[in-house]
Structure 1
Amino acid sequence: MPGPIIVGVDGSPTARRAAEKARDLALKLQAPLHVVSAHTENEISHIKSGSDEWIVTSADNAHRIADGEARKLRTPDAEIVAAAAHGKPSEALISYAERTGAQMIVVGNRRMRGMARMLGSVANSVSHNATCDVYIANTSGS
């Protein structure tokens, strides 16, 4: 069985376009798709309402984003997993890919043009540091 295809999401429309392309690739390659959202903090919040108390972490929020995107991508033939990964987005995706034996990471081309590219992008960092294949999806159009 081939390793999974990893796609990073943050709830943005451009990330969703990259995730849709990743799902299509996963279906064609008959590989599982892991939808991953990164979180940089290990924040823990305590929320109280009457006698009830909930503990919410930044990892929970990241997983909620990944799960929401994964649900939107589901098709009968797709094997889709939602996950949260700790770290800056590029580092979190690379680390997650290495831990899962991923065959490919899919990222969008956001911030790869104009002045924003000088500041760096997830796609640039992933493409230079990943130990697996990287697919940079054109997410600037519809």
Structure 2
Amino acid sequence: MTGVVIVGVDGSETAMRAAQTAQQLAIGLGASLRVVSAFDSNRTEVVEIGTDKWIVSDAAEAEAVARAVAERLADDRLEITYSAARGKPGEALVKEAEVQDARLIVVGNRRMQGLGRVLGSVANTVAHTAPCDVYIAKTDQP
């Protein structure tokens, strides 16, 4: 395999569309795929029900989202890994791309119109700061 393709997910249907695009690109490039979900806080809660006790954190929730998408994308032609990354989504994807020495970052175009364009978006942040190529997948239509 040559290189790593990074895709950011947040549990939304549009992020899943970007992930499916990333899957096909990674297969075509002979690359591996890394599914990343960002979290921006260290919030942790302890939930107790009877004698059972669970620790729930933003990091754990983000990792669960990434794992679920990675499982949906499973394909014999592709090596897939997943992780949670701390930070704002665009910044977290760029940092993950740097750490993984990624070949490509795939993001969706969900908030590239109207006010979102003025205030910034994940795609905008990634496109301007990525250490590698960026593919903006059309995800605003099924």
Q: For this structure pair, what is the TM-score category when the shorter chain's length is used for normalisation? A: over 0.9
Aligned to 2:130: 130
- Provide the secondary structure at the position in 1 that maps to 2:113: coil
- Aligned partners of 2:43 and 2:85: how far apart in 1? 14
TM-score by length of 1: 0.96
1:31 match: 31
Q: Specify the SS of the correspondent of 1:141.
A: coil
Aligned residues: percent identity? 52
- Runs (4+) off by over 3 Å: none
Matched residue pairs, number? 142
Q: What do you get for the CA RMSD once the two structures are aligned?
A: 1.0
Q: Which runs of 5+ in 1 are unaligned?
A: none
Cα deviation for residue 118 of structure 1 reads 1.1
1:121 and 1:90 map into 2 onto residues whose CA distance is 8
The separation in 1 between residues aligned to 2:82 and 2:42, in whole angstroms, is 19
Alignment of structure 1 residues 95-114 onto 2, 5 Å: 95-114=95-114
- Counterpart in the other structure of 2:16: 16
Unmatched segments (≥5 aa) in structure 2: none
Deviations 1:43-82 (A, max 9, x none): 1111112222121211000000111111111112111111
1:116 positional shift: 2.2
User: What is the TM-score when the length of structure 2 is the normalising length?
Assistant: 0.96
CA distance in 2, matches of 1:76, 1:109: 28
